[in-house]
Structure 1
């Protein structure tokens, strides 16, 4: 299989060797279409997939003047959650469409403008013709297109239909590590690359993105603080 060629747009590595080394281009092509879906129709996995998208978009929009266009048909995004993933409200332009056809058309127009750091669209259905148009528009506008595929029905995987996307991801929640002290630890996600041009699929467990949109490898067991020994264990 011939190695894929990157577009002339920015290439964004994740900064995680275990992840970037498995990507055919070593990062996210800033002039291509990338699809992301939740691992299941649960609210937790849906939130994880949304924040995964937000983290990538936030890192593309890392300059002060950069902005992100987000096309949707239902205004249900949680702004504080997006800000915790690196996207403050001042960087977001919401495009509320009457239906998914309009949402895809708005996203395509934004891509061809070439003035956004990233374009996001949320849909339940996009056929191969629609994804090909988005891929061409992303390449023409040198802008990353992040298509968040929502579950239409519980029995239908959003990744089951063919697509022209450069990469297709499946994101779900994973159990967090136990802390050595009371509190809430950083969330963990199951990050699966279902398909990529010129490369193989793979999956990793990663820590959820921080307030700059960056993911992280979970700390090795030997690097974590030891849990306190219970009083009964000490007595024994």
Structure 2
């Protein structure tokens, strides 16, 4: 039986992306290494040289920590130096190192106020020697997001915007932006305690990861175990390798890397 000559949906997405980028080669991507996620993304991974947003799924330190570590895991799997733009020097470097982002790769850029952050991020995106620019923003107007997307496309440097959620501005996260993807990460009760690991007796973190926007892809939602020492996510062990644990066995302690402020 001859093969079906009709193009697949992924072929059509690739052609559309080539048209959007002027007919050049397919965009470089950074796979998560999990087919359940990568199949939702154009090209089978997170597009590089583009803007992506990550926000916490709820108000609270554990959710902020989960979103921060999700971003750090992405950055850890990219090669090269990283510029992390923030308002306050409250990142906990040992926690970032536990998900694979070593301190010697990170350059910190502190802005005097929220209005200067987009300018600092945009300036960082123009430096082609950087692999990723991370920007912590509570507000992201459409015009500013378009400027960042253009800068990322021109330099090939990826921007990951960590949208820290003020309690008084939750509506801000429903506003449209020019980012290619938008993620939401919520902390869940951790897995059963580990016998060995970075902190014995504390289970691996578990997150609900939602892809709520994906240009040329499709949205999705997954319950995953948090980033390991190489920045990689994985399916919960009872889902991937064995039957679900009996009720009451799952641990509820905090993640070993949830602490953000030293």
TM-score normalised by the chain length of structure 2: 0.79
| Whole-angstrom distance in 1 between the partners of 2:244 and 2:71 | 33
Unaligned runs of 5+ in 2: 1-8, 247-262
Q: Which residue of 2 aligns with 1:28?
A: 46
| Whole-angstrom distance in 2 between the partners of 1:151 and 1:60 | 26
| Whole-angstrom distance in 2 between the partners of 1:146 and 1:226 | 34
Q: Which residue of 2 aligns with 1:70?
A: 84
| Conserved? CA contact 1:179–1:185, under 8 Å | yes
Task: Report the Cα offset of residue 175 of structure 1.
Answer: 2.4
Q: Which residue of 2 aligns with 1:52?
A: 70
- Correspondence for 1:109 among 100, 123, 139: 123
- Correspondence for 1:183 among 196, 201, 204: 201
Q: Which residue of 2 aligns with 1:143?
A: 157
Q: Which residue of 2 aligns with 1:232?
A: none
Matched, 1:193 2:211: yes
| Whole-angstrom distance in 2 between the partners of 1:27 and 1:127 | 26
TM-score normalised by the chain length of structure 1: 0.87
Task: Report the Cα offset of residue 154 of structure 1.
Answer: 5.0
Superimposed CA distance per residue, residues 171-224 of structure 1 (whole angstroms, 9 cap, x where no aligned partner): 011223335868222111100001110222210011100111111111235835
- Correspondence for 2:34 among 16, 19, 29: 16
Superimposed CA distance per residue, residues 120-143 of structure 1 (whole angstroms, 9 cap, x where no aligned partner): 000110100011111111111101
Note closer, same or farther for the CA distance 1:173–1:157 as it changes in structure 2 (3 Å cut): farther
Q: What SS does the corresponding residue of 1:199 show, helix, strand or coil?
A: coil
Q: Which residue of 1 aligns with 2:57?
A: 39
Q: Which residue of 2 aligns with 1:218?
A: 236
| Whole-angstrom distance in 2 between the partners of 1:103 and 1:136 | 17
Q: What SS does the corresponding residue of 1:156 show, helix, strand or coil?
A: helix
Task: Report the Cα offset of residue 86 of structure 1.
Answer: 1.1
Task: Report the Cα offset of residue 33 of structure 1.
Answer: 0.2
